[in-house]
Structure 1
Amino acid sequence: MTDRILSFAIPGKHCRGRVVRLGPALDDILAAHAYPPIIRDVLAEAVCLTAMLGSLLKDEGSQLTLQAQTEAGVISLLACDYKDGALRGYVDYDRERLASQPVEPSLMALFGKGYLAITFDQPEPRGRNQGIVPLEGANLAEAVQNYFYQSEQIPTLIRVGIDETADRITAGGLLVQHLPEGEEGRERLHVRLDHPEWEHVEIMGGSVRAAELTDNALPLEEILWRLFSESDEVRVFDGKPCVKGCRCNEDHIRDVIARFPKEDKEDMVDDEGNIGIDCAFCSKKFMITAASLNN
């Protein structure tokens, strides 16, 4: 029941959506660093959102990146991405500032004057598309909702739940969107944000409880039937399984280093003749000998 994404459609209401539940894959991502509970929960929410947003991409090799740009907050960097079912995420934060915060700090306290950048990288002719919106709302899910309203003009409902047990953290999420011109939609400026079809779906979807999204004994399909099937046909499609994915390996690291000018590469070399690279996403360390590089 975990580490999977379901796509669904409500044809009679011209809506599409995604529902996800993450367990072991999320544990693997969070285990890379000893995050305190507040930071861990923020990253869990961000990874869950990234999974739902990334699953909206249809072409193989497409990538979704969610990144918070912050100023004067506890968190200085939050970055997550999704590519073909592979997820990764990382948070950099100030421990001293975090210690001075209340038990449940606000989004403003965590990120300061922050902005959320969502980037869709797709094969041509679509290419890259990025939207940037203020980090406003009670949580990251509300900030992403604002992105779709402000940048894409797509009526969107997002709910995320986080559940912690002694040995595991589970994240579940629901995303529903109104696309009256079909799955791809048309010019967003013509989408009505108060369409009666959408008002009905928004009310029903908004009734989902966090405990339902994170209940490993409750199939994701059952959640969708409970929410929408009494009044509408719901079509459900199985999606990609989710895994922790990090693209760091020696070949990739060598390729990245090779792009730097010769002078910069020489500055990277330590006294032992090595170049040390740390991957923030998976906490692995790589030592590349300078002699092995093609200058």
Structure 2
Amino acid sequence: MTEELDLDRALGFTIPARHARGRVVRLGPVLDEILAAHAYPPPIEALLAEALTLTALIGSTLKDAGGQLTLQTQTENGVVKLLVCDYRGGELRGYIQYDEEALAAAPTSPTLFALFGTGYLAITFDQAATGERYQGIVPLDGTTLADAAQSYFVQSEQIPTLVRLGVARGEDGTHVSGGLFLQHLPEGEDGRERLHTRLDHPEWEHVALLGATMGADELADRALPLESLIWRLFNEEDEVRLLPGILLARGCRCSPDYIASVLAKFPPEDQRAMADKDGMIVVDCAFCARKFPVPVADHYVS
């Protein structure tokens, strides 16, 4: 497999004898495309890269093709005011709002606590097929975003979980990120979106110990195929089943037509109140950092 084909891809697998499932992800051009829209300073850039990778890891486990996974943080006294990423049908988007003065006063390599202070991690599953929504919220514990995600699954869903993330920035300024996501499953199940299981299975301890040996540099190594990552960890297992891969793309859903259709739902008087002196309503998209000017006269009938 060529280097290019193994970027912006998610690959799932199961280990039947160990009652475990996993997912590996590698982001490249998609990551650069999302980050390029914002010109974030390095610590914020790295944080968003990790968050997007985590979102791809969890989101790509959804069986509902039209479903959406949203990852969001809520903070009270940290550098980061808001972090939002979502995944839908292989498409990723995300952005961060942060306090520039607080970041300038923070260490060069700020910890999770320095970035978020007292904060919470919310993960929301929206199922398109059934219209159901499930959300879990846990404190942002640990030293990394991966630690916080592990706490989410243990506390909110009672699923033993291991998460590893890695981000690398090349000399040419391009980025590569990778992630590993492992979960324990009830005996005899291949897995579904949310599972509840006992915490005393020795086979899970074996899988978790192997997964913990995966380094951030390996995850973000663009020359290392995803299949090779799985092989390095689990080549001594009797059977590892690979699932179909998923190609990932940048997926901001804003467009002039969509925004005009949303504004058209407002009464004409409200639209006029939102317009500037030139009769334009300017809508900012936080995800892609673009402004969409929409003439009031174009989207309401007097």
Verify same fold: TM over 0.5: yes
Alignment of 1:250-289 (within 5 A): 250-289=256-295
TM-score of the two chains, using structure 1 as the length reference: 0.95
Question: For 1:81 and 1:104, how far apart are their aligned partners in 2?
Answer: 26
Q: What letter is aligned with 1:184?
A: G
What letter corresponds to residue 256 of structure 1 in structure 2? V
Task: Name the SS of the counterpart of 1:238 in structure 2.
Answer: coil
Tell me whether 200-209 or 222-231 shows the greater mean CA deviation: 222-231
Task: Look up the match of 2:248.
Answer: 242
Q: Secondary structure at the match of 1:64?
A: strand
Alignment of structure 1 residues 1-295 onto 2, 5 Å: 1-125=6-130, 127-166=132-171, 167-181=173-187, 182-184=189-191, 188-189=195-196, 191-295=197-301
Mapped partners of 2:23, 2:237: distance in 1: 19
Query: What do the CA deviations read for 1:118-173 (whole angstroms, capped 9, x no partner)?
Result: 11111243611111111111111111111100111111000001111122111100
**Cα pair 2:62 2:193 within 8 Å, conserved:** no
Q: How far does the alpha carbon of each residue in 1:189-224 deviate from its partner, in whole angstroms, 9 at most, with x for none?
A: 5x1223111000000111111111111111110111
**Partner of 2:176: helix, strand, or coil?**
strand
Question: Aligned partners of 2:130, 2:82: CA distance in 1, in Å?
Answer: 31
One-letter amino acid matched to 1:293: H
- Letter of the 1:183 partner, please give it: D
Structure 2 letter corresponding to 1:96: E
Q: What does the per-residue CA deviation read over 1:7-62, in whole Å, with 9 as the maximum and x for residues that have no partner?
A: 10001111111100000000000000110000000000000000011101011211
The normalised TM-score by structure 2 is 0.93
Distance 2:166 2:246 in 1: 21
Distance in 1 between residues matched to 2:116 and 2:194, nearest whole Å: 33
Cα distance in structure 1, aligned partners of 2:16 and 2:131: 25
Which stretches in structure 2 are left out of the alignment for 5+ residues?
Answer: 1-5
Per the alignment, do residues 113 and 7 of structure 1 end up closer, same or farther by CA in structure 2, a change over 3 Å counting? same
CA distance in 2, matches of 1:146, 1:93: 24
- How many pairs does the alignment contain? 294
Taking a change above 3 Å as real, the CA distance of residues 196 and 261 of structure 1, as seen in their structure-2 partners, is farther
Show structure 1 runs of 5+ residues with no match.
Answer: none
What is the CA–CA distance in structure 2 between the aligned matches of 1:73 and 1:19, rounded to whole Å? 30
